[in-house]
Amino acid sequence: MSTTESVPPDAETITAAQVRHVAKLARLALSEPELETMRVQLSRILGHVASLDALDVADVPPTSHAVPLDAALREDVVRDSLPRRELLAAAPATEAGAFAVPKVLEGDA
């Protein structure tokens, strides 16, 4: 539980092309300087994360939730939903009682 772990010299690094690809996957339009800062910072963080390679976890099951969970079942009953007017009040754009969004599909479909 030491608080002074340093980044190993052979830190996992991430390339400019990888950062650009990840930004695209994450739908973040980052500027060139932001991409470069991100590359340096992510490399450093991933370098620290690489310390997990020292663990032998071949026979260890993964934990997705710390507290064991059963499937949560409930009666299938009809309940009121929130009023449409209130939900649409927070939308950036609405039209005819619906969310107005940029065109998703090309053509007239």
Partner 1 sequence: MSAAEITGLGVVALAEKVQRGELRAVEVAQAFLDRIAHLDAGVGAFLHVDGEGALAHAAGVDRLAPEARRALPLAGVPVAIKDNLCTRGVPTTCASKILAGWVPPYDAHAVERLRAAGATLVGKTNMDEFAMGSSNENSAFWPVRNPWDRTRAPGGSSGGSAAATAAAFAAASLGSDTGGSVRQPGAFCGVAAIKPTYGRISRYGLIAFASSLDQIGPFARTTRDAARVLGVIAGHDPRDATSVAREVPDYEAECGQPLAGMRIGVVREALGEGVEPAVRAAIEAALEVYRALGCAIVDVALPHAHHAVATYYLIAPAECSSNLARFDGMRFGLRSPGADLAETYGRTRAEGFGPEVKRRIMLGTYALSAGYYDAFYVKAQKARTLIARDYDAAFATCDAVLTPTSPTVAFALGEKTSDPLAMYLADIFTLPPSLAGLPAANVACGFSPEGLPIGLQLVTRAFDEPGLVRLADGYERASGFAGRRPADPAKGKG
Q: Which residues bind partner 1 (CB under 8 A)?
A: 1-5, 7, 14, 18-19, 21-23, 25-31, 34, 38, 41-42, 44-46, 48-52, 55, 57, 60-67, 69, 72, 74, 82-83, 86-87, 89-93, 99, 101-104
Provide the token pair at 32: 């060139």
> In whole angstroms, how close is the CB of 53 to partner 1 at the nearest point?
8
Q: Which residue carries 């030491």 as its tokens?
A: 2
- Residue 63 C-beta: closest distance to partner 1, Å: 4
Q: Where are the alpha helices (DSSP H) in 1-109?
A: 16-25, 32-49, 84-88
**Residue 59 CB, nearest distance to partner 1 (Å)?**
9
Tokens of 35: 């991409």
Closest CA to 37 of 11, 8, 14, 12: 14
Q: Which is nearer to partner 1, 65 or 78 (CB)?
A: 65
